C-alpha cells in the first residue's frame, strides 16, 4: 500500500494501523507527486527539499513498519526543478533510516510527465547507494524498455506507472523478459474487451457501488483501446458507460476477432502535460529546514489534503 502524508506523526499512525491490522505486505511512501494541490502544501515532490521534515517522516514510518516486519520503501523524483534537486540527499537519508529500497522517477516536479525521463540520474543514485536496492521509474512502456533501463543504469528493478494503463499484461511481459523469454502478450480486441469487463467488475466490488465502479472504468477506455479499431461513436459511449449491463452490450459491438495492432497499441499513455513552475508554500525554497510558520502550515495541511 502506498501512503502520502506531510506530518511524521500522522504518517507514523497510518503505518501503525496498517501493521497492527495486517493490511499490507509492503508499504511505500510517495514523495513523487507533482500535482499542485499536493505540492503547494509542501507534500509530494516538494517535501524532500525540507531535510528535517523528510527525515522525520521516513524514520517514523520505518520504525512503525519494522514492528511488524513490513518492508517500507520510498518513491521520489529528482527534485523540484533542475536548480533544486533532492534525490541524492533524500536517497542517503532514506538508506540511513532503514528503508528496504528507493525508487526514483527520472523527472523533476516541474517537468510533470513531459519530456524524457533522465535515466542518468537513476544511474547516479544507483552508484551513490550501493548498499540497498535502487529501482528506476520513467518511460518504461514495454518489457524491452525495462531491460534497457536495467542494463544502462544498473538498477535492481523497475517501477511501472503510466506504462501499464490499459495494459495489465505488461507485467507478464516484464516477467518473461527478465526470465529470458521472448514471449510477449499481444491480445486481440476480444481479449481486451474481456479484460475491460473484468476490470469493471473488480472496481464495482472494490467500491461497493456499480455507479462508482463504472464511473472509474471510464477513464481507462482510451488506454485499453489505444491503437485498436474502435469507432469514434462507440469510443464516446464507452467513455460514458453507466452500468455493467450497458458495458457488456457495448463491448459486444466490438470485432472480437480483430488482432493486436502492434506498435499502435504501445508507447506512451496518458497525458504528459507541459513543464510548469511547481506550486510551493511561501518561502519554501529559502531554507532546507522548516520555519515556524511552515511547520504550522504543514500541520494544518494534513487535515484537508488527500491524494498523492
pLDDT tens, position by position, 154-213: 999 999 999 999 999 999 999 999 999 999 999 999 999 999 999 999 999 999 999 999
- 8 Å CB contact between 166 and 226: yes
> 157 pairs with which residues across the strands?
135
| Range from 19-23, 127-131, 290-294 carrying the lowest mean pLDDT | 290-294
- From the number of C-beta atoms within 10 Å of its C-beta (0-12, 13-18, 19+), residue 141 rates as middle
Per DSSP (E only), the strands in 20-153 are: 27-31, 72-77, 79-81, 84-85, 101-105, 134-137
As beta bridge partners, residue 72 has 27
pLDDT, average across residues 95-119? 97
Q: Pairing between strand 79-81 and 134-137?
A: unpaired
Spatial CB neighbours of 131, under 8 Å, sequence gap ≥ 6:
95
Instruction: Give the distance, in angstroms, between the CA of residue 185 and the centroid of all CA atoms in the same chain.
Output: 22
Active site positions, annotated: 33
The strand pairing partners of 103, in sequence order, are 75, 135
Looking up cell 499542485 gives: 36
Rounded CA separation 238/210 (Å): 15
Q: Cell 506504462, residue?
A: 163
Specify whether the CB–CB gap between 112 and 272 falls below 8 A.
yes
Distance, CA of 73 to chain centre: 13
| Residue 94: predicted pLDDT | 98
Q: What is the pLDDT of residue 301?
A: 65
For the chain, what is the mean pLDDT? Answer: 94
Under 8 Å between Cβ of 13 and 65: no
The alpha carbon of 96 is separated from its chain's Cα centroid by a whole number of angstroms, namely 24
User: In the structure, what pLDDT confidence band is assigned to residue 308 with cuts at 50, 70 and 90?
Assistant: very low
d(CA 72, CA 87) in angstroms, rounded, equals 18
**By the 8 A CB rule, do 87 and 103 touch?**
no
Q: How far is CA 76 from CA 102, 152, 236, in A?
A: 8, 20, 36
Nearest to 36 by CA among 110, 117, 90: 110
Q: In this predicted model, what pLDDT tens digit does every residue of 246-263 receive, in sequence order?
A: 999 999 999 999 999 998
What's residue 48's pLDDT? Answer: 98
Taking Cα atoms as reference points, which of 251, 258, 109, 242 lies closest to residue 194? 251
pLDDT-derived band at 95, boundaries 50, 70, 90: very high
Amino acid at each position: 500500500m502506498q501512503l502520502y502524508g506531510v506530518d511524521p506523526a500522522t504518517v507514523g499512525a497510518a503505518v501503525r494501523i496498517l501493521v497492527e491490522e495486517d493490511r499490507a505486505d509492503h508499504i511505500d511512501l510517495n514523495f513523487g507527486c507533482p500535482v499542485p494541490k499536493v505540492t503547494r502544501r509542501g507534500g509530494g515532490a516538494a517535501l524532500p527539499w525540507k531535510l528535517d521534515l523528510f527525515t522525520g517522516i521516513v524514520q517514523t514510518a520505518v520504525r512503525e513498519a519494522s514492528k511488524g516486519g513490513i518492508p517500507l520503501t520510498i518513491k521520489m523524483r529528482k527534485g523540484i526543478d533542475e536548480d533544486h534537486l533532492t534525490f541524492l540527499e533524500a536517497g542517503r537519508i532514506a538508506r540511513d533510516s532503514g528503508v528496504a529500497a528507493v525508487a526514483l522517477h527520472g523527472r523533476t516536479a516541474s517537468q510533470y510527465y513531459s519530456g524524457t525521463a533522465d535515466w542518468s540520474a537513476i544511474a547516479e543514485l544507483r552508484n551513490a547507494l550501493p548498499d540497498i536496492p535502487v529501482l528506476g521509474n520513467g518511460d518504461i512502456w514495454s518489457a524491452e524498455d525495462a531491460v534497457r533501463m536495467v542494463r544502462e543504469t544498473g538498477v535492481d528493478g523497475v517501477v511501472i506507472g503510466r506504462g501499464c494503463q490499459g495494459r495489465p499484461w505488461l507485467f507478464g511481459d516484464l516477467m518473461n523478459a527478465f526470465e529470458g523469454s521472448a514471449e510477449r502478450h499481444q491480445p486481440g480486441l476480444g481479449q481486451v474487451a474481456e479484460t475491460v469487463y473484468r476490470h469493471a467488475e473488480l472496481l464495482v466490488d472494490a467500491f461497493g457501488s456499480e455507479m462508482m465502479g463504472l464511473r472509474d472504468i471510464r477513464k481507462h477506455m482510451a488506454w485499453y483501446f489505444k491503437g485498436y479499431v474502435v469507432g469514434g461513436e462507440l469510443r464516446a459511449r464507452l467513455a460514458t458507460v453507466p452500468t455493467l449491463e450497458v458495458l457488456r452490450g457495448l463491448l459486444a459491438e466490438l470485432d472480437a476477432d480483430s488482432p493486436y495492432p502492434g506498435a499502435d497499441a504501445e508507447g506512451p499513455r496518458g497525458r504528459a502535460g507541459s513543464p510548469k513552475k511547481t506550486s510551493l508554500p511561501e518561502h519554501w525554497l529559502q531554507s532546507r529546514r522548516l520555519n515556524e510558520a511552515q511547520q504550522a502550515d504543514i500541520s494544518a495541511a494534513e487535515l484537508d489534503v488527500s491524494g498523492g
